[in-house]
């Protein structure tokens, strides 16, 4: 999708931006299976704002925010603070390294569905040596019987799974999108790199939440390395890393994720630098009230037009 807003009147430009916001999320994913890019001039950020007690901050206006791209302030052209439905993909690692933690990941996915609101849409995939659909997008809290057939075996295509989730979310009409990864973080067979997977997620405006499912029988060095992979996906996309996969912490974390996705601030801007040069653009979102913290994605790649 290629959109240009240059050379338009102010009224026509405003109408085009409004139309773009409604239509871009519903646009089909790239026909090239190996590439996802957003060839439009609108960059969208979904952001969480919390106070010093980690409570969600509501009531902020567009004038409270400033967006900087590579240190240069950008004009905000769209803003939303209302509760809206989200679309999410849950990725369950079913590779051999997961062992008995597969059943824990399965229970976590079911727990996530318990918190859905009527209009939220969630799909479930498993991944080992390949990525496979368990349950397509639905607002139902009932889970497919296929989820109980998931067993631990094979290699791990974590990056391919995140890429696939991004592809599917890029087709969705919901503006708020998320990928929830339940994995030990050890990729062993993906055809795509972690960077390609992350770029695909951010091109689809998807926030990544990762849950560490590492077996404690692994070496400390291995756990640190794999955890770093999961932390990187979460931090750079504006999501959150959940360290402990069990008990009350997991229950509370999943409840928090569902609530958070419904109340994100959504902002969009047209980059002053409109070059499609394939370079990374660093993003910073600021709020003009003291004592608040913002979590959003760290940047995006200005994909070259094809």
Residue 125 has pLDDT above 90, yes or no: yes
At residue 134, the pLDDT reads: 95
Give the pLDDT mean for 149-160: 94
Q: What span, in angstroms and rounded, lies between the C-alpha atoms of 258 and 195?
A: 26
Q: For the chain, what is the mean pLDDT?
A: 83
32 burial level (CB within 10 Å; 0-12, 13-18, 19+): exposed
- Upper half-sphere CA count for residue 279 (Cβ side, 13 Å): 10
The answer to whether 89 touches 168, Cβ cutoff 8 Å, is: yes
Give the pLDDT mean for 174-192: 92
Residue 256 has pLDDT above 60, yes or no: yes
Helix 101-114, helix 247-262: angle, nearest 10 = 40
- CATH assignment, 86-262: 3.40.50.410
In this structure, of 3-7, 119-123, 213-217, 299-303, the range with the lowest mean pLDDT score is: 3-7
At residue 224, the pLDDT reads: 86
Higher-pLDDT residue of 56, 161: 161
Q: What span, in angstroms and rounded, lies between the C-alpha atoms of 126 and 133?
A: 7
Give the pLDDT mean for 201-215: 89
Residue 278 has which token pair? 């394939």
Phi, psi of 139, deg, nearest 5: -95, 5
At residue 196, the pLDDT reads: 94
At residue 306, the pLDDT reads: 42
The closest of 133, 123, 74, 125 to 267, measured between CA atoms, is 74
Band the pLDDT of 132: cuts 50, 70, 90.
very high
**Domain extent listing, the chain:** 10-83+265-301, 86-262
Residue 187 has pLDDT above 50, yes or no: yes
pTM here is 0.79
Cα 52-54-58 angle, rounded to 5 deg: 95
CB neighbours of residue 9 within 10 Å: 8
At residue 26, the pLDDT reads: 38
């Amino acid at each position: 999708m290629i959109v240009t807003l240059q050379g338009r009147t102010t009224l026509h430009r405003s109408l085009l931006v409004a139309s773009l916001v409604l239509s871009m999320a519903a646009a089909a994913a790239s026909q090239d299976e190996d590439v996802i890019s957003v060839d439009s001039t609108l960059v969208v950020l979904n952001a969480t704002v919390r106070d010093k007690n980690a409570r969600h901050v509501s009531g902020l206006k567009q004038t409270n925010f400033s967006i900087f791209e590579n240190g240069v302030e950008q004009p905000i052209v769209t803003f939303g603070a209302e509760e809206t439905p989200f679309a999410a993909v849950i990725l369950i690692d079913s590779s051999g390294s997961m062992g008995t933690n597969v059943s824990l990941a399965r229970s976590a996915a079911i727990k996530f569905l318990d918190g859905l609101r009527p209009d939220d849409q969630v799909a479930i995939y498993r991944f080992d040596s390949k990525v496979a659909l368990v349950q397509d997008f639905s607002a139902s809290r009932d889970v497919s019987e296929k989820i109980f057939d998931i067993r631990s075996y094979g290699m791990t295509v974590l990056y391919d799974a995140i890429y696939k989730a991004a592809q599917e979310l890029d087709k969705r009409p919901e503006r708020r999108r998320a990928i929830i990864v339940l994995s030990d973080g050890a990729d062993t067979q993906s055809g795509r790199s972690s960077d390609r997977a992350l770029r695909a997620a951010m091109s689809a405006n998807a926030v990544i939440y990762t849950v560490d499912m590492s077996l404690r029988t692994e070496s400390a060095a291995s756990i640190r390395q794999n955890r770093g992979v999961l932390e990187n996906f979460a931090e750079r996309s504006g999501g959150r890393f959940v360290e402990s996969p069990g008990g009350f912490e997991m229950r509370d974390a999943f409840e928090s994720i569902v609530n958070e996705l419904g109340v994100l601030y959504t902002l969009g801007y047209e980059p002053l630098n409109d070059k499609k040069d394939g370079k990374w653009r660093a993003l910073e979102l600021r709020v003009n009230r003291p004592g608040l913290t913002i979590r959003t994605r760290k940047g995006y790649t200005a994909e070259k037009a094809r």
